[in-house]
Amino acid sequence: MRIRLCLAALSLAGGAGLATLSAPPAAAAACSDVQLVAARGTFEPGTLGFIVGDPVFSALQKKVTGKSLSSYKVNYPADLSPTSAAQGNLDLVNHVKSQAAACPNQKFVLVGYSQGANVVDNSIGISSAGAVVGSPIVATLPAAVEPKVAAVLLFGNPIRALGKSVTGTYQSRTLDICAKGDPVCENGGGDVGAHLGYRDDADAAATFAAGRM
């Protein structure tokens, strides 16, 4: 399953044939001090994502003692369809906007792995069009929500292979990890296993996020 995840992601350069997308309004969850919003990778199993989302959430629970922590799994196909990342982009933005309106004091940690990093990139205004399983931007977090985003954690980010990265408003709050040889985020990388080893970076990522709350 893990090898399929990476090889399938490599088989498609996303962004072509984008359809008109719509999504129902997101329903706000109970308020917490911090909410981790996770976009999983292509075909990734797990509650928030076996390779990244789940271990980062567990690590962050240990770092934010004295604060309540909740999570949200971005609702999108995480498959190889041309509109998959765009559907995730729309759902993430709708959810965070709804949650921020319902819980004015809540902070957010945005987490994206592989295709999920494309979802987060798009949501903060960095287009993943042309990247592996990427898409054009269909929605962005509004300026009123931006101060509520404490940290952005990206793993195996496909736009890195295009020579792009997060710049602008969110740059100082972003940790963008690309393992050496990871073919999804490193142009010319050939180590498939590198793309599947980001569980080892969960603690460092949680430390980064906790330090920015």
Measure the CA–CA gap between 195 and 175, rounded to whole angstroms: 16
Query: CA nearest 57: which of 99, 125, 110?
Result: 110
The answer to whether 202 and 58 are in contact (CB under 8 A) is: yes
Retrieve residue 21's tokens: 């997308």
Q: Closest by alpha carbon to 33, among 106, 112, 122? A: 106
Single-letter residue type at 58: S
Residues in CB range of 190: below 8 A, 6 or more apart: 181, 183
Torsion of CA 95, 99, 102, 106, to 10 degrees: -170
Please choose, from the candidates 133, 123, 102, the residue with its C-alpha nearest in 3D space to the C-alpha of residue 8. Answer: 133
Phi and psi angles of residue 121, each rounded to the nearest 5 degrees, phi first = -50, -50
Q: Is the dihedral of CA 92, 98, 99, 100 positive or negative?
A: positive
Active-site residue numbers? 114, 182, 195
